[in-house]
Amino acid sequence: MRVLFAGTPAVAVPSLNALVNAGFDVVAVLTRPDAPLGRKRVLTPSPVAARAEELGIEVIRAAKVDAEVTARIAGIAPDVAAIVAYGGIVPRAALDVPTHGWVNLHFSLLPAWRGAAPVQRSIIAGDDVTGAATFRLEEGLDTGPVFGTLTETVRDDDTAGDLLNRLSDSGAVLLCQTLSAIDAGQAAPQAQSGDISLAPKLTLEDGRLDWQQPALALQRRSRGVTPEPGAWTILEGQRIKLEPVSLRPDVKDLDPGMVRAEGKSVLVGTGSHAVELGRIQPAGKKMMPPADWARGLAAAGKVVFE
């Protein structure tokens, strides 16, 4: 079975590896163009591009699937296209090229969390269980019929990065199973059913912690935006980056945003009870333990996060 693989970030690499290891003929990879990374803004291949080149697979770099890219895909003549977090829309003309269409691995239990940030939104919302689904790609936003699903428990301390890494590994197995079923003529996709929720891409503002909210909501948000775009707050007009906070229901005497150091712990008041800070990165400095940052609190007097 000739497979075109479309994907860009690191979470798509396990699926590419799984397809190759399972014996599928991955004839080409479609990925986003090289992007500038680091302080020196060095053009760097996507993780999928880098892995494809290691495997000796042809790489098509494209920010969008236009007529030229569609023609290149048609020339490759794939039987099916597998797509995992490519990061661009596939138009109708390209959807019609592979004999068996495009199969998308999506990291949610559709129709829950359709969109670009399903894992992040699931954690922020406080879901106990999420999962992954393979479905036939259509022109609509993650609306196609579902081939298969798997479930994954959301752990109390999961960050989006933690959960996405687990789903990328188990989802790679599901993707291989789906393509095998299609190849054998045994796939029977079913229309999506259930409550629809949307998962738009996170913005920097999604990472800001509103200390008027309850502690549990802040803890979930800080986990859901880690590692990207990251949790943050404002102190004296400067943005301070935060790692996920933990719950301290035993402390209820702090007003929202008020900061207090207790030994090696740094506590912050919320709309309910306090939370305890993880590592913290003041503006212009590196990430550091909260106790190191708190040494200057006594001299600063009253400290309140905005």
Tell me the per-residue pLDDT of 104-137, one tens digit each, with 9 for 90 and over: 999 999 999 999 999 999 999 999 999 999 999 9
| Cβ count near 170 (within 10 Å) | 16
Tens-level pLDDT at each residue, the chain (306 residues): 999 999 999 999 999 999 999 999 999 999 999 988 877 888 899 999 999 999 999 999 999 999 999 999 999 999 999 999 999 999 999 999 999 999 999 999 999 999 999 999 999 999 999 999 999 999 999 999 999 999 999 999 999 999 999 999 999 999 999 999 999 999 999 999 999 999 999 999 999 999 999 999 999 999 999 999 999 999 989 999 999 999 999 999 999 999 999 888 999 999 999 999 999 999 889 999 998 998 876 666 688 999
Asked if the peptide bond before residue 227 counts as cis, ω within 30 degrees of 0, the response is yes
What confidence tens digit (pLDDT) does each residue in 66-110 have? 999 999 999 999 999 999 999 999 999 999 999 999 999 999 999
Selection from 28, 12, 176 nearest residue 83 by Cα:
12
pLDDT of residue 41: 85
Are 279 and 243 a contacting pair, CB within 8 Å?
A: yes
Are 122 and 132 a contacting pair, CB within 8 Å?
A: no
Instruction: Name the β-bridge partners of 132.
Output: 150
Q: What angle do CA 300, 305, 306 make, to 5 degrees?
A: 130
pLDDT of residue 36: 87
Measure Cα distances from 80 to 137, 141, 147, 260, 281 in Å: 11, 20, 14, 57, 46
* CA 291 – CA 208 distance, rounded (Å): 22
Selection from 106, 9, 85 nearest residue 50 by Cα:
9
Single-letter residue type at 188:
A
* CA 45 – CA 228 distance, rounded (Å): 19
Q: CB-based burial of residue 59 (10 Å sphere; 0-12 exposed, 13-18 middle, 19+ buried)? A: middle
Say what the pTM is. Answer: 0.94
pLDDT of residue 263: 86
Please write down the long-range contacts of 281-287, taking CB distance under 8 Å and 24 or more positions apart: 281/240, 281/241, 281/242, 282/235, 282/238, 282/240, 283/238, 283/239, 283/240, 287/241, 287/243
Q: Which residue has the tokens 């305890």?
A: 276
Measure Cα distances from 122 to 53, 84, 110, 191, 259 in Å: 34, 18, 12, 22, 29
| Residue-range domains of the chain with CATH | 2-183 (3.40.50.170), 204-300 (3.10.25.10)
pLDDT of residue 39: 76
Asked if the peptide bond before residue 229 counts as cis, ω within 30 degrees of 0, the response is yes
* CA 236 – CA 242 distance, rounded (Å): 16
pLDDT of residue 298: 60
